[in-house]
A and B are shown apart, each in its own frame.
Chain A
Amino acid sequence: MEQPLKSAAAVTPAAASVGQVSHLTLLQQVRAGDQQAFGVLVSELFPTVYRAALRVLRHEQEAEDVAQDVFMKIWGDPPELRAEANLKAWSARVATNGAIDRLRKKKPDISDDLPDQVDPAVAADEAMQADEAADAVQQAIDGLPERQRLALVLTYYEGLPNKEAADLLEVSVDALESLLARARRALKAALSEQWQGLLEDFAQGGQNGEGSWKTI
Chain B
Amino acid sequence: MTKATELDRLKDVLDAYGAKPDNWPQDEREQLQAIASAHGAEVAAWLEEARQMDAVLNLVPDAQVPDGAVERMLAKVAVPPRAPVVDFQAARARRSMPRRWIDLRQAVPVGIAMAASLMVGVLAGLSDLTATYIPNTGTISLASVGQETIGDTLIGFETFTLAEGDLK
A residues whose Cβ falls under 8 Å from a Cβ of B: 35, 38-39, 42-43, 46-47, 50-51, 54-55, 60, 64, 67-68, 71-72, 75, 122, 125-126, 129-130, 133-134, 137-138, 141, 152, 155-157, 159, 161-162, 173, 176-178, 180-181, 184-185, 187-188, 191, 195, 198-199, 201-203, 206-209, 213-214, 216
Within residues 134 to 150 of chain B, which ones have a CB less than 8 A from any CB in chain A?
none
Known contacts being A38-B77, A72-B77, is A202 close to B59, with CB within 8 Å? yes
* CB closest residue in chain B, given A122: B63
Question: Which positions in B face A, CB cutoff 8 Å?
Answer: 12-13, 15-23, 25-26, 33, 36-37, 47, 51-66, 69-70, 72-74, 76-79
What separation, in Å, do the CA atoms of A198 and B22 have in the docked complex?
A: 23
Chain A residues within 8 Å of B16, by CB: 176-178, 180-181, 184
Dominant secondary structure at the A interface: helix
Q: Given known contacts A126-B61, A216-B37, is B72 in contact with A68 (CB within 8 Å)?
A: yes
7 A-B pairs within 8 Å (CB atoms) are namely A46-B69, A46-B70, A180-B16, A207-B58, A207-B61, A207-B62, A213-B51
Which 10 residue pairs are nearest across A and B when measured between Cβ atoms? A209-B58, A180-B16, A202-B55, A177-B16, A207-B61, A181-B15, A208-B58, A134-B59, A181-B16, A130-B61
Q: Judging by beta carbons under 8 Å apart, are B69 and A216 in contact?
A: no
Q: Given A38-B77, A68-B72, A177-B12, is A208 in contact with B66 using a C-beta cutoff of 8 Å? A: no
| Contact indicator B60/A208 (Cβ below 8 Å) | yes
Most A Cβ at <10 Å: residue of B12, B53, B56: B56
Partner of A199, one of B23, B55, B61: B55
Q: When the two chains form their complex, are residues B63 and A72 in contact, meaning their CB atoms are under 8 A apart? A: no
Report chain A residues within 8 Å CB of B72: 64, 68
Q: Which residues of B contact A188 (CB under 8 A)?
A: 53
Decide: A50 and B60 in contact? CB cutoff 8 A.
no
Supply 4 further A-B pairs (C-beta < 8 A) apart from A198-B55, A202-B55: A68-B76, A152-B57, A209-B59, A216-B19
Given the contacts A156-B18, A207-B59, A216-B19, A129 and B64 also touching, CB distance less than 8 Å: yes
CB contacts (< 8 Å) of B19 on chain A: these are 214, 216
Kindly identify which residue among A75, A137, A177 contacts B59, using a CB–CB cutoff of 8 Å.
A137
| B10 to A: closest C-beta gap in Å | 10
Cβ–Cβ < 8 Å partners of B79 in chain A: 35
The residue of chain A having its C-beta at the shortest distance from the C-beta of B33 within the complex is: A216
